[in-house]
Amino acid sequence: MTKISIYYTSIYDCDGLILEPILSEQRHKRNAQLTHEKQIMHSNAAEVCLCAALFDRGVKLPPDYKYNALGLPVLNGNEYFVSLSHSDEYCACAVSDEPVGLDVERSRIVHWKLYDRIRMMDEPTPKDNEEVIELWTQKEAVLKLTGCAITGSMRSFGVFYPEVRMGDEAPFAYVSSQKNDSYWISVAAYHPIEHELIKVTREKALEMLTATKKQ
pLDDT score for 140: 94
pLDDT of residue 152: 56
Q: Identify the pLDDT of residue 73.
A: 86
Q: Is the pLDDT of residue 91 over 70?
A: yes
Longest CA–CA separation in the chain, Å: 56
What's the CA gap between 10 and 185, in Å, rounded?
Answer: 14
What is the pLDDT of the chain when averaged over all its residues? 92
CATH superfamily of the domain spanning 2-213: 4'-phosphopantetheinyl transferase domain (3.90.470.20)
Peptide bond into 62 cis (omega under 30): yes
Determine phi and psi for 170, rounding to 5 degrees: -65, 155
Higher pLDDT, 187 or 79: 187
Cα–Cα–Cα angle for 19, 73, 95, rounded to 5 degrees: 80
5 bridge partner residues: 95, 196
State the Cα–Cα distance between residues 34 and 122, nearest whole angstrom: 42
pTM for the model stands at 0.93
